[in-house]
Structure 1
Amino acid sequence: MTLENLFASRTQHMRASEIRELLKLLEQPGILSFAGGIPDPALFPSDAFAKAYASALTPERQAGSLQYSVSEGYLPLRKWIADRMALFGVACSVENVLITSGSQQALDYLGKLFLSPNDTALVRWPTYMGALGAFRAYEPRFDRLSLGANRPVQDLKDAAQASGGSVKFAYLSSDFSNPTGETVDRQGREQLLDLAEALNSAVIEDAAYQELRFDGDFVPPILAIELERKGHIDACRTIYCGSFSKTLSPGLRVGWVVAAQPVIQQLVLTKQASDLHSPTINQIVIHDVAARMFETHLAKLREHYGSRRDAMLSALERHMPNGVAWTKPEGGMFVWLTLPEGMNGADLLADALRTEQVAFVPGAAFFPDGSGENTLRLNFSSPNIEQINEGMLRLGRVLRGSMN
């Protein structure tokens, strides 16, 4: 007997994460990696975390820190998040906030909540591969989310119906997106809300990078814009997913969802059936650190990551051959390269590792249909400026060799 024969049909849609596999390269000596979307560990507020854990484990607090907790999450942290959201134009209460084990868990829960087999999820082309992985388990059909395009709404409805379902939601990373680094402007966010209204669909706003703006003008979250239209969060169809992974620590796995109460209530039931609640002590520690130093820590991150973004854009200008184009993000962690037609990012990665010991993520993994072979993603948050300059020099040599 082989247990594989008993696996549910949904497992056929699950794929290994190319980024998780590429992270193994970091263990190899000599590799210059621009692959993972990894914060610089040197910038983690480790001293603050050590003090917060020590405080959480004092005799007075350890019973609460180490005990089971409510599924909604640690109340002071939810209150802090609600206050933070108000700064962005999102008026909400703690009843509109759910703590999750990273925003990745939120995406999984939302896929479970909305998607039946053959339903349609609208996503950008390309989009965050972690979202594709989370949603694929629920056997959807993916269609292209093109803001400002002239594709009739009825075409989207008809295509979804022909596949045996309906359009359940539009998902996008709205600020400094993973993988392209691009930001959707105010007009694009308004157009998305119009589209969602016409389709009677939800909007999932992945805001993992929102706090990492280095320059340019602030754009209100999609949820804030919808609140301007509707007046109360419980009337909104936008679901906001936030995370501390890119700002304080990815290892503590603390994210959150802000949405209308009926959505939060259903997600709470999902969490109760999954892991009961996110780790209590991690929530307490995140709250203690965020409450004491979040703004000053953000300023430090923006300074460091902004200088690395600048270094990468400058190095690309110096070292990339003609025919290579790239995005110029105003924040976040990524630059997106488009190579001449006919080039293959996966083949280029093999050459880069073999000849120059440089790693990046081939772009095809970010496309639901596996297209985009002539694209790749570079991360600038983890390597230092010296490594960025050397890495782009090496990558330029690989590209010239492949193009000759």
Structure 2
Amino acid sequence: MVTEAAFATRAGRMKASEIRELLKLLDRPDIVSFAGGIPDPALFPAEAFAEAYRHILAGEAGRAALQYSVSEGYRPLRDRLVGQMAGLGIACTADNVFIVSGSQQALDYLGKLYLSPSDTALVTTPTYLGALQAFNAYEPAYDQLSPGGNRTAESYRQAAAAAGGRVKLAYLSADFANPTGETLGREGRERLIDLAEELDVALVEDAAYQALRYDGEPIPPILALELARKGGDIERTRTIYCGSFSKTLSPGLRVGFVVASRAVIGKLVLIKQAADLHSSTINQMAIAEVAAGQFGEQVERVRAVYRRRRDAMLAALARYMPAGVAWTRPEGGMFVWLTLPAGLDAAALLAEAVETQKVAFVPGQAFHADGTGANTLRLSFSCADEAAIEAGIARLGGLLEGAIGRRAA
């Protein structure tokens, strides 16, 4: 039997995802689940994908679809993404686009590329749990990224030196972030570009939810803002844009992408060659075909459904949450973030919520690199219809009212 001592030190930082465990509750019909931050499968363009696979395999491209392929990704898909990026103000070429097996793989590769043990990764508090899991394998220290500008570059340098390394990257989701649903304004994005320049670090922009805006004015991606500063020359930028088709077309096909300077893309390609050679060719081809035919229509369909569910959840929270509970009001995405009165532990309340109220959520502490946030939780509205949202939030409100009352007694 292999003992723990045989494992690399990084294995000690690998933890199971609380969210992946909670997804098992989706199979229980008696549970109203706000836990899984996943798309509603009823919205997947299944027929379009079925036709795309039939067309690909029946045509001349069928053999290529089943063969090994280039590590950079399927060229027609990369060409299409060049046009998609142009619509966001990001001028690039296919050489600046790299296809990965979901944007989660991109985060793992970026951790491998930039982080040595004891180096510091700057992350927001809270931040996406999957980013922490990806980065943890490379044994970094963490420091709180403050887009509000109340930290100086020198303070970050000193903290990183005290941890035994240097600041190597800053990571955030600027649009409808997982888990909070919040969006960083243009001024904050500009400040982050300034900070990254002062620290000479990579700025990783996780844009997984960027297409899911329901109201409010769109804000240019961080990469677009940096490009404007640098004369439109992407080769001079340090922002690394990570995108995905998981929230719009299909998460199961695992097709994501990275847009960055060729210097960064070249390194990521080498990592992929060593890891899995290339992402699934046929899946990339199917994504390219379906996206070419109906991407805009599909995005509008998804937005309409999720907008109604977001509105239903915010209205229900206003009706049923007791005094002392606060929540975010996202302009898009899939999430609402609740902050409970100090002293309440969302993780401790979860078991009671599931067993007595038949409602599930994700405790917020897992999203905090420093282990704080016990009195926070994440709700997802993407997979519950309006009736289920009304019932589930009413039950959750009753549970929290009882917990607050017990604590005050």
- TM-score interval w.r.t. the shorter chain? over 0.9
Match of 2:81 in 1: 81
> What is the alpha-carbon distance in structure 2 between the residues aligned to residue 3 and residue 75 of structure 1?
45
* 8 Å Cα contact 2:120-2:167 kept in structure 1: yes
Match of 1:106 in 2: 106
Match of 1:273 in 2: 274
> What is the alpha-carbon distance in structure 2 between the residues aligned to residue 150 and residue 358 of structure 1?
38
> What is the alpha-carbon distance in structure 1 between the residues aligned to residue 61 and residue 147 of structure 2?
49
Unaligned runs of 5+ in 2: none
Instruction: Report Cα offsets for 1:45-94 as digits up to 9, x if no partner.
Output: 00100000111111522101111100000000000011100000000000
> What is the alpha-carbon distance in structure 1 between the residues aligned to residue 337 and residue 81 of structure 2?
31
Match of 1:29 in 2: 29
After the TM superposition, which residues 298-317 of structure 1 pair with which residues of structure 2 at under 5 Å, given as runs?
298-317=299-318
Instruction: Report Cα offsets for 1:193-242 as digits up to 9, x if no partner.
Output: 00001111110000000000000001000000000001200000000000
Q: Secondary structure of the residue that 1:89 maps to in structure 2?
A: coil
Q: Secondary structure of the residue that 1:57 maps to in structure 2?
A: helix
After the TM superposition, which residues 1-400 of structure 1 pair with which residues of structure 2 at under 5 Å, given as runs?
1-231=1-231, 232-400=233-401
Instruction: Report Cα offsets for 1:381-401 as digits up to 9, x if no partner.
Output: 111111111110110111111
Superposed displacement of residue 3, structure 1: 4.6
Give the aligned residue type for 2:132. Answer: L
97-106 vs 24-33, greater mean Cα deviation:
24-33
Superposed displacement of residue 111, structure 1: 0.1
Instruction: Report Cα offsets for 1:342-390 as digits up to 9, x if no partner.
Output: 1111011111011111000000000001100110000001111111111
Instruction: Report Cα offsets for 1:228-270 as digits up to 9, x if no partner.
Output: 0012000000000000000000000000000000000000000
Superposed displacement of residue 403, structure 1: 1.2
Give the aligned residue type for 1:371. Answer: T
> What is the alpha-carbon distance in structure 2 between the residues aligned to residue 397 and residue 121 of structure 1?
39
Q: What's the Cα RMSD here?
A: 0.8
Q: How much identity, in percent, do the aligned residues show?
A: 63
Instruction: Report Cα offsets for 1:302-328 as digits up to 9, x if no partner.
Output: 110001000000000111011111000
Match of 1:401 in 2: 402
> What is the alpha-carbon distance in structure 1 between the residues aligned to residue 163 and residue 404 of structure 2?
41
Q: Secondary structure of the residue that 1:134 maps to in structure 2?
A: helix
Moved over 3 A (4+): none
Give the aligned residue type for 2:314. Answer: L
> What is the alpha-carbon distance in structure 2 between the residues aligned to residue 181 and residue 259 of structure 1?
25
Superposed displacement of residue 40, structure 1: 0.6
Superposed displacement of residue 163, structure 1: 1.4
